[in-house]
Amino acid sequence: MLEGTRIQSSVPSAMRKYPISELGTHLVQESHQTSILRFLKHIAYEIGPIVNEQRTTISTSHSPLETTNSARSGNTLKQENNVDHHAMDYESTVSEQMATKTSSLFAEVNKCHDTITVLSQGIQSLSNDTTRLGAESFRHQNSIQSAFSDVNQLKLSIKETDNYLAAIAPNQEMMQEQLSSIKQKVEETELSFYDGTLTWKVADISNKMADAQSERQTSIYSPPFYSSPAGYKMRARLYLHGDGQARRTHMSLFFVLMKGEYDPVLKWPFNHKVTFCLFDQSGQNRHVIDSFRPDTKSNSFQRPRSEMNIASGIPKFFPLPMIQQEHNNYVREDTMFIKVIVDFADLPKMILPYMLGLNPGLPSLVQEYMIRQENHKRQQAPTMATVVPPPVTTNSCG
């Protein structure tokens, strides 16, 4: 059955087109059935006069015959024959007219019968379709109700989940902070040094310099390092674009004391010399070296009461134009290396170039042994004009 197709009612009194989807409803409506009844009465009304006329004609056709018979005695035989002939012709004409009208009426009746048969079949088909569609509608209605029920349950489940997530969100944030703290401590532990020295790899210099210039992040911190497993906790702080009066002119490098687990048993204020070294990566060993000794009156070197003390160090550690030059010796592959040495042995200043010229890949114990040996040699020959070179030829600038 095509959607949207329209059909025309065959009842003359209801010559109106209906969508085929409404035909079943139309055929069973009282208005349609009343129209059919009126149509049948109309046919009966049309046939009735014809039948009565034929009956009257047949009845009156006998009167001339009776009159003829009563007057036969007074008329001639020829007149009788003429009357009989006219009567027969009249009856024949009347019979032909009745036959024609009867055939026409039978044709109309057959046509009506065919129409009623088609309509009956259509009604039956529509009734079947209505029953089928009713069953499908009922099934779809049940499916819709089931879907609505599922949706309501899903909404309830989502609401319960949202409430649960809202309840655990604070705990989750707290756990995330704890996890980040633990992760940072693990990373710091993995990268930690426990001999009072730090070799710091500073990567992604170009982006860090851009952040410092735009003041998005003016400084960066190194990983913590320690004087010993139970010693001072320290770190470096680097201002790539300078700090204070050195901003935009020099790279600033500072030393920071951090709050440690063993601070209560350590000696304060902190008074050990700190040396910074920016490594020359060209192989010429023209390292940039500078040192400072702490001011024991400064709060920067008292026992830390917060996470970190105020940084202190060398504001004009290295000129910015030199570090910003392309193909300079101190930044290669967008990376620089800085070494921090805390001198707990009060080594002489002249030994520093030798210390920083040693191969950083040597074990710490080996480096310490070689430094002691070199220091001993220098103490034995204080008037020597030359310095005994370390195993690797080095030059220094400071």
Task: Kindly state the helix (H) or strand (E) to which residue 392 belongs, with its residue range.
Answer: none
**Is residue 33 a contact partner of residue 25, using CB atoms and an 8 Å limit?**
no
Rounded mean pLDDT of 247-266? Answer: 98
More confident residue, 30 or 109: 109
Mean pLDDT over 320-346 rounds to: 95
pLDDT in tens, 335-355: 999 999 999 988 888 888 898
Q: What is the mean pLDDT of residues 90-109?
A: 80
Instruction: Convert the pLDDT of each residue in 266-289 to its tens digit.
Output: 999 999 999 999 999 999 999 999
Dist CA 255 CA 315 (whole Å): 11
Structural tokens at position 273: 């010399």
Q: How confident is the model at residue 387 (pLDDT cuts 50, 70, 90)?
A: very low
pLDDT of residue 392: 42
Compute, in degrees rounded to 10, the torsion defined by CA atoms 273, 278, 281, 284.
-60
pLDDT band at 127 (very low <50, low <70, confident <90, very high): confident
- Looking at residue 109, what is its pLDDT? 83
Q: Is the pLDDT of residue 294 over 50?
A: yes
Task: Output the 3-class SS for 35-48.
Answer: HHHHHHHHHHHHHH
pLDDT for 248: 96
The reported pLDDT for the residue numbered 394 is: 39
Pick the CATH number of 192-397 from 2.60.210.10, 3.40.80.10, 3.90.1300.10, 3.40.228.10: 2.60.210.10
Average pLDDT over residues 278-301: 96
- Model confidence pLDDT, tens digit, residues 134-166: 898 888 989 898 898 899 989 988 988 888 888
Q: Does 19 have pLDDT greater than 70?
A: no
- pLDDT at residue 254 is higher than 50: yes
pLDDT at 395: 40
Task: Name the residue among 43, 7, 36, 286 with its Cα closest to residue 125.
Answer: 7
Q: Are 57 and 91 in contact (CB under 8 A)?
A: no
Whether 232 has a pLDDT exceeding 50, the answer reads yes
pLDDT of residue 81: 63
Predicted model pTM:
0.53
Distant-in-sequence, close-in-space partners of 378: CB < 8 Å, separation ≥ 6: 348, 350, 351, 384, 387, 388
Q: Which residue has the higher pLDDT, 27 or 144?
A: 144
Average pLDDT over the chain, rounded to whole? 82
